[in-house]
A and B are shown apart, each in its own frame.
Chain A
Amino acid sequence: MTKRLGALGKAREFGILIALALVVIVATAKNPAFLFSSDGWRDLLLTPSILVLVAVGQAIVIITRNVDLSVGSVMGLSAYLTGRLFIDLPSLPIPVVVILAVAFGGFLGLVNGALVAFARVPAMVITLGTLYAYRGINVMWAGSSRVNASDMPREFLALGTEQILTIPILAIVAFLVLAAAAWYMRNTRGGREYYAIGSDPAAAELYGLKVTRRVLTAFILSGALAGLAGVFYAARYGSVSSQAGAGWELDAVGAAVIGGVAITGGVGTVWGAAIGAVLLMTINRALPILGIPDFWQRAVVGVLIIGAIVLDRWLAVRQRRRLIEARDES
């Protein structure tokens, strides 16, 4: 019984992986260059890398039964900060700039987390507020100016294009971060406590778990990952305006939900969220190849999200019914 349930859980992520494979196969059949060209192969890995980072952070927050809608703005602000640091303090070594940008993202996450954890206001409201506030700061700071590729050191921009064994560096970094987050979520007390808090916050209090601290950390992690995504963004696109990352929060939530992270908390994995992110980005690139107009691309994403939620609900109902019937038979 439980084994089958466990297999079901695995099947949840497996299903998305199959969907992803299908998209790649169909697109490649239509246009072999989608996979079998150096550009196609690189884009397949590179394009989703940034969203993977944001989605992993988002998944951690959602697992604690919260949500972080500010990640797009945090990412944009960190990307702009990265560019500004290169312009204003040209002597700063690249690793220091990266660390500063990530720390800055973490700080913005801390603000979110503190407001959520101490003010006891739903995360949706708080982060909707900071989504606008952070973007506002970005616009105030950048105005209509933008950071261009020529403002940033060549070695930094190379991070966004170079590859090791045909695999883009950004994809490798994203994968390492993902693997570390997955390990943390599965194998440490902290990780398991995120699940516990999301599964039943009241019970978590009674267990004596440090709920406030954990929620705070989840938001810091999400902010820091969005900060790292901002660095990636600057390196990959080479140009950062005040609108960088706008709308990404919805892609991140969508990726997590498609990947099987329950919006009500306690269920799902960062692996699922990452695969969801890859699927989202790959579909966006595949649809034009398949000749599907721009207009429909958003609709397809919508169908995916609703489909994922309906599937989760159906699985939950089926599991409950099965448990009741098992009790009936015994």
Chain B
Amino acid sequence: MPDAAAPVVLELSKVVKSFGAVIALRSGSLRLQTGSIHALIGENGAGKSTLVKIVAGLYRRDGGEFRLDGEEVDFTSTAQSKAAGIAVIYQEPTLFPDLSVTENIFMGRQLTGRLGRIDRKAMRHEVERLFTRLGVTIDPDRPAEGLSIADQQVIEIAKAVSLDAKVLIMDEPTAALSGVEVDRLFAIARSLRDEGRGLIFISHRFDEVFALCDTVTVMRDGSYISTTPIADTTPAELVRQMVGRDVTDLFPKQDAEIGEPLLEVAGLTSPGVFHDIAFTVRAGEIVGLAGLVGAGRSEVARAIFGVDDYREGTVTMKGRRIRRGRPTEAMRAGIALVPEDRRKQGLVIESGVGRNITMAIRRQLSHFGLITTGIENRAAREWASRLEVKSHALDTVAATLSGGNQQKVVLAKWLATRPDVLIIDEPTRGIDVGTKSEVHRLLSQLAGEGMGILMISSELPEVLGMADRVLVMREGRITAEIDRADATSENVMFAATHATQEHAA
């Protein structure tokens, strides 16, 4: 708990930002004290990212006040914001893959000696000192290419610390981290706080907000709602402030009749990625695939769908073999894959909503090999309205939609193919609470209609609430299969983190 009298390092009040006709930020306010970890929460599209980008110097505000250490500031570039002592760690770390860890930390402000010669030795010493202080072991000479997201974030933090940043903003840093990695990150965050820095922590996970932060600011629809000490509030209260209504049932799984086996996977192996994967998905069933990030879950999904190759094993759909490496065959057999990375793998980001939705059914839509926008939009409208995609028109470019709406578009694209089995990877990552429960309701409804769903998720409550059966993967192997009735966060987490083979099935 920061001292109430602790100086305010960063203060934004009634900040406004609009892009053309779209108002991204109506009235953003934030007061960050030194020695505090301040949570910033709100649904997607609430204006958190815009606020952060203004602080980072990526955007310039249209109005309102922005003070750093009591002085009015106005950044026109990221370099200025950085020089003023502000460090931002983005959701997806931005490192130079070809350069060494040390170079990444010092890029743009390398220590130099005579003639502007870079002093590699001094830089390396400094990095070793930083890493010791942060309690991590990363080889300073290795290239950034191939580092886990957790390690990449550590490098971003090391950068911020070496800059001696007064303000550290972390935008959903834990989205891709395992439990151990989250603990390490939190330990580092606390020690930075104790050094008197101000931290802003953006997250969708309430347990983390309550475990780490001392103050919380809620935003909604581009406006400031409230700031409260964390001790004086509850998750239910925060959710209410975020959505402006009560969200009682986050994970409304309806009972569905479980029928015939649809998708059967046996002995699937790809050396170095996953080993001996076997499971069945039946009609009307939601199978949760839990595990830590990097356990190989997405890779299994990609292999089943035929995007990636595998060495051994079989994939059968309703008794028919699907040859490996044939996504078209998988699609024709009735499998759909909603990937984790919507922007890169799920959408043609520059295309309109209508075109994106009809992307997977173009063959059926074409007349004599031709497709018109009219045909596309007619087909897309049904799904767009069923999923309540919020966009002005079907020709709205997908890139401009919020994360939740993008996810709905990707879902609509695959549902338009009327699949029997839906493989969905992290269905609600980066999606706000309101849309989250909509996605859950939809999945549950689809299962009720007899679809088999394989749901990959890193969020335990989601897995426990939605899945009829939970498969847990750890380092490329299935370590447990647990029925809905027996599944608890403890036994799922245990299987995800411990090597002991615990085949319940």
Contacts and interface: CB of A to CB of B under 8 A. Distances in A.
A206 B475 contact: no
B103 interface: yes
Nearest to A206: B94
Nearest to A197: B96
B294 interface: yes
Contacts of A319: 145-146
Nearest to A202: B94
A286 B29 CA distance: 72
Contact of B98 (A206, A266, A327): A266
A10 interface: no
Interface string B58-97: 1000000000000000000111111000000010001111
Those 3 A-B pairs whose CB atoms lie nearest each other, nearest first: A208-B79, A323-B146, A203-B94
Interface in B98-138: 98-99, 103, 107-110, 112, 116-118
Nearest to B475: A328
A199 B98 CA distance: 6
Interface of B: 57-58, 77-82, 90, 94-99, 103, 107-110, 112, 116-118, 139, 141-143, 145-146, 148, 272-273, 294, 475-476
A1 B139 contact: yes
B141 A6 contact: yes
Nearest to A323: B146
Nearest to B103: A192
B116 A188 contact: yes
Main secondary structure of the interface of B (DSSP, over half): loop
Contacts of A188: 112, 116-118
A324 interface: yes
Interface of A: 1-3, 5-6, 187-189, 192-193, 195-196, 198-200, 202-210, 262, 266-267, 319-321, 323-325, 327-328
A311 B441 CA distance: 51
Given A208-B82, A327-B294, A187 B117 contact: yes
Contacts of B57: 208
Contacts, number: 97
Contact of A189 (B112, B142, B145, B272): B112
B142 A2 contact: yes
7 contacts: A1-B142, A188-B112, A196-B96, A196-B103, A199-B99, A206-B90, A320-B146
B159 to A, nearest CB: 9
Contact of A328 (B77, B145, B272): B272
A192 B109 CA distance: 11
B78 A206 contact: yes
Nearest to A325: B272
Contacts of B141: 2-3, 6
A200 B294 contact: no
Contacts of A2: 139, 141-143
A267 to B, nearest CB: 5
A195 B58 CA distance: 23
A327 B118 contact: no
Given A2-B142, A192-B103, A199-B98, 12 more contacts: A1-B142, A188-B116, A189-B108, A189-B110, A192-B110, A200-B95, A207-B94, A208-B57, A208-B108, A266-B96, A266-B98, A320-B146
A203 B93 CA distance: 9
For A196, A205, A207, A262, which residue has the most chain B Cβ atoms within 10 angstroms?
Answer: A207
A282 B57 CA distance: 52
Contacts of B98: 195, 198-199, 262, 266-267
